[in-house]
């Protein structure tokens, strides 16, 4: 008999269901008896004992289904040691739920914040397996996270659609792509969509360089320019501010996001019409791509193998196209950033793309 708990925490993405299915199929085909307890709304379900026993029916037909059948919520890692409004010790409550159900392990699907709490529970003595989920692809220790490729497809499709209207009206268009701290999604979608300028959080931009790139295209007879801008993109001036100063600036900013600020500056300096498109949460929605379905099936099967071997405390990662077990304590709390001088950036610059630097 194996008893496992499962939860999905943080922002959703397209392939959470596919990953859970992979784990359960990997276990059910190799053990005589299996009980799977699904916790509702992420860590919230584990804290307050909100769960149900799942059956094989729950995992049938969900390979192509986006979102998560368990629901999700954000439970900030910084608040995990802070009692709730009723004085409940959240960490102790999670442990009690785990032991009450006599679980062999807890499978946790989520991004960076989720991973830090998963490592905390490991430190508290629980058997943990973590699966790396995020459209941002910023989890350290794995080459790719599930949800990333599906989000690339959506963001790229948005840029593709903008191309035709941009060419028709000879305008500057900005497509704002998700990514507060890292720019992997914007980088890949920008290249795949043929954006002319790509602005990333890791490469502070100089608005003069941005405008220069636009003017260069205009002089070359190209009537439109497309910018792929990460929502966390930052100017060189703002990058010099302290976190406190920058936060205050954002609070007092008349712009809803950095893309609108960039658009306004371009219009002021060039007189060119600028339009901003924000695909927003559509980047997390819809069905997972075939790539993500395969990735999640492999990660899920690899997680099942670790559970069958009673080998816990790991993130199941993909490295050099092979699944591997990475100790949680070595990766929790670390971000995988885009290196400004990495090969893919240099190759994009070779093709004439500007990064505003």
Domain annotation covers residue 351 = no
Here the CATH number for the domain that contains residue 238 is 3.40.50.460
Residues 234 and 269 in one domain: yes
Following DSSP, what letter does each residue of 172-203 receive, concatenated? EEEEEES-SS--HHHHHHHHHTT-SEEE-TTS
Same domain, yes or no: 250 and 113: no
> Using alpha carbons only, how large is the chain's radius of gyration in Å?
22
SS3 state at 305: helix
Tell me what pLDDT residue 11 has. 86
Is it the case that residue 120 has pLDDT exceeding 90? yes
Domain check: are 158 and 266 in the same one?
Answer: yes
Same structural domain, 201 and 274: yes
pLDDT score at 272: 87
CATH number of domain containing 326? 3.40.50.450
Q: How far apart are CA 208 and CA 219, in angstroms?
A: 16
Statement to judge: residues 215 and 298 lie in one domain = no
Mean pLDDT of 262-276: 93
What confidence tier does 170 reach under pLDDT thresholds 50, 70, 90? confident
Do 37 and 165 fall into the same domain?
no
Report yes or no on 343 lying in a domain.
Answer: no
- Which pLDDT does position 12 carry in this prediction? 87
- Residue 157: what pLDDT? 96
- On whether residue 245 sits in a domain, the answer given is yes
User: Residue 160 in contact with residue 317, Cβ under 8 Å?
Assistant: no
Same structural domain, 25 and 48: yes
Cα–Cα distance for residue pair 199/190, rounded to 1 Å? 9
pLDDT beyond 90 at 185: yes
The model's pLDDT over 282-340, given as tens digits with 9 standing for 90+, comes to 999 999 999 999 999 999 999 999 999 999 999 999 999 999 999 999 999 999 999 99
pLDDT at 171 over 90: no
Residues 6+ apart with CB under 8 A from 107: 4, 5, 6, 7, 20, 23, 129, 130, 131, 303, 307
Mean pLDDT of the chain: 95
What pLDDT is stored for residue 40 in this prediction? 97
Residue 265 has pLDDT above 90, yes or no: yes
Do 7 and 142 lie in a common domain? Answer: yes
List, by residue number, the catalytic residues.
Answer: 136
Whether residue 157 is found in the same domain as residue 274:
yes
| Residue pLDDT, tens place only, 187-242 | 999 999 999 999 999 999 999 999 999 999 989 988 899 999 999 999 999 999 99
pLDDT in tens, 137-149: 999 999 999 999 9
Those residues with Cβ within 8 angstroms of residue 263's Cβ, 6 or more apart along the chain or in another chain:
172, 174, 274, 275, 276
Res. 158 pLDDT band, cuts 50 70 90: very high
Q: Mean of the pLDDT values across residues 335-353?
A: 96
Q: What residues make up the domain containing 246?
A: 151-284
355 occurs within a structural domain: no
Please tell me whether residues 297 and 310 are part of one structural domain: yes
From the DSSP assignment, how many helices (H) and strands (E) are in the chain?
13, 11
pLDDT score, position 223: 84
- Does 349 map to a domain? no
259 and 174 Cβ atoms separated by less than 8 Å: yes
Q: What is the tally of structural domains in the chain? A: 2
| pLDDT 10s digits, 52-109 | 999 989 999 999 999 999 999 888 898 999 999 999 999 999 999 999 999 999 999 9
Same domain, 38 and 79: yes
Q: What confidence score (pLDDT) does residue 18 get?
A: 96
Does residue 54 form part of some domain?
A: yes
- For 49, 222, 223, the CA distances from 168, given in Å and listed in that order, are 56, 12, 9
The two tokens of residue 348 are: 């994009």
Residue 354 belongs to some domain of the structure: no
142 part of a folded domain: yes
Same domain for 156 and 269, yes or no, is: yes
């Amino acid at each position: 008999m194996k008893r496992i708990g499962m939860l999905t925490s943080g922002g959703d993405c397209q392939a959470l269901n596919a990953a859970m299915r992979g784990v359960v199929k990997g276990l059910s085909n190799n053990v005589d008896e299996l009980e799977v307890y699904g916790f509702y709304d992420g860590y919230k379900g584990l804290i307050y004992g909100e769960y149900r026993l799942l059956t094989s029916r729950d995992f049938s037909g969900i390979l192509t289904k986006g979102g998560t059948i368990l629901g999700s919520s954000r439970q900030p890692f910084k608040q995990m040691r802070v009692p709730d409004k009723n004085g409940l010790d959240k960490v102790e409550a999670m442990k009690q739920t785990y032991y009450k159900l006599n679980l062999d392990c807890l499978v946790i699907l989520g991004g960076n914040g989720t991973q830090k709490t998963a490592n905390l529970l490991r430190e508290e003595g629980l058997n943990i397996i973590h699966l790396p989920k995020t459209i941002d692809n910023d989890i350290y220790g794995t080459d790719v996270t599930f949800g990333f490729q599906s989000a690339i497809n959506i963001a790229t499709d948005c840029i593709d659609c903008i191309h035709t209207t941009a060419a028709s009206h000879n305008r500057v268009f900005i497509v704002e792509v998700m990514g507060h701290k890292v720019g992997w999604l914007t980088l890949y979608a920008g290249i795949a969509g043929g954006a002319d300028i790509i602005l990333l959080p890791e490469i502070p931009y100089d608005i003069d360089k941005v405008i220069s790139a636009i003017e260069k295209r205009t002089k070359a007879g190209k009537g439109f320019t497309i910018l792929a801008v990460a929502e966390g993109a930052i100017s060189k001036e703002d990058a010099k501010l302290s976190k406190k100063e920058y936060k205050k600036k954002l609070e007092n900013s008349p712009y809803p996001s950095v893309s609108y600020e960039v658009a306004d500056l371009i219009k002021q300096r060039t007189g060119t019409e600028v339009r901003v498109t924000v695909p927003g949460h559509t980047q997390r929605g819809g069905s997972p791509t075939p790539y993500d379905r395969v990735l999640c099936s492999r990660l899920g099967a690899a997680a099942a193998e670790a559970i069958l071997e009673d080998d816990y405390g790991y993130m199941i990662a993909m490295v050099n196209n092979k699944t591997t077990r990475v100790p949680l304590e070595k990766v929790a709390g670390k971000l995988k950033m885009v290196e400004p001088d990495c090969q893919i950036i240099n190759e994009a610059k070779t093709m004439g793309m500007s990064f505003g630097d």
